[in-house]
């Protein structure tokens, strides 16, 4: 092989390798998110049976807020132990990978978190997911794959939201369980 042919082959190989990450990148499938049939909004909601009066469950939820959020006091809009309700607006970051494979911020998602308490049960509701911007941008718009502005990256953002909400609800349910006291038998 002469030098010109070798150089041409190397350039072709290098150019193909530079596109390889784009080819190898899988498109994230759209996650199956819980949609409220009445409001048509994404809504995570469940009633959990847990022993205890409303005040006890309220205190357990406050412990969970302190465990889960770095600054829980910035979230609260309502803290009503008497009527058994905690409500506020929380936030989470979403990301994308740029052409170099570096993780970049794609924005902040704001959402409403509400926990209500009754004797031997509580209900959590996570809803009103909006991309923080100058105007209100509900993320339900990302579900419309027929939108002319549709971007396949939206599925990744929705997946990130779903993953964080699944982790949030599982830690809440876990932390709301009564703590078993271990006796020191020796």
Rounded to whole angstroms, the Cα distance separating 120 from 174 reads 15
Closest CA to 86 of 111, 61, 60: 61
157 neighbors 137 (Cβ within 8 angstroms):
no
35-174 classified as CATH 3.30.530.80 = yes
Band of pLDDT at residue 21, cut at 50, 70 and 90:
very low
Q: What is the mean pLDDT of residues 34-46?
A: 96
Q: What is the mean pLDDT of residues 85-98?
A: 96
- How confident is the model at residue 5, as a pLDDT? 59
Classify residue 50 by its DSSP letter.
-
Domains of the chain by residue range: 35-174
Band of pLDDT at residue 180, cut at 50, 70 and 90:
confident
Rounded to whole angstroms, the Cα distance separating 50 from 121 reads 5
176 neighbors 57 (Cβ within 8 angstroms):
yes
- How confident is the model at residue 74, as a pLDDT? 96
Examine the pLDDT at 108 and tell me if it is beyond 70: yes
- How confident is the model at residue 178, as a pLDDT? 87
- How confident is the model at residue 181, as a pLDDT? 77
Closest CA to 88 of 65, 57, 108, 113: 113
- How confident is the model at residue 128, as a pLDDT? 97
CA 148 to chain centre: 25
* Angle ∠(132,154,38) on CA atoms, nearest 5: 75
Rounded to whole angstroms, the Cα distance separating 170 from 121 reads 16
């Amino acid at each position: 092989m002469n030098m010109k042919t070798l150089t041409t082959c190397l350039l072709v190989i290098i150019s193909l390798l530079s596109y390889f990450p784009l080819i190898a990148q899988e498109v994230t499938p759209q996650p199956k998110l819980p949609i409220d049939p009445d409001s048509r909004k994404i809504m995570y909601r469940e009633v959990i049976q847990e022993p205890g009066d409303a005040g006890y469950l309220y205190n357990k939820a406050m412990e969970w807020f302190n465990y889960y959020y770095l600054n829980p006091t910035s979230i609260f809009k309502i803290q009503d132990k008497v009527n058994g309700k905690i409500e506020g607006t929380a936030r989470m970051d979403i990301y994308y990978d740029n052409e170099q494979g570096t993780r970049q911020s794609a924005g902040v998602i704001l959402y409403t978190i509400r926990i209500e308490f009754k004797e031997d049960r509580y209900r959590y509701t996570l809803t009103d997911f909006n991309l923080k911007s100058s105007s209100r941008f509900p993320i339900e718009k990302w579900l419309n794959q027929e939108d002319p502005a549709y971007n396949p990256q939206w599925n990744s953002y929705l997946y990130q939201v779903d993953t964080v909400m699944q982790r949030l609800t599982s830690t809440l349910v876990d932390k709301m369980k009564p703590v078993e006291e271990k006796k020191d038998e020796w």
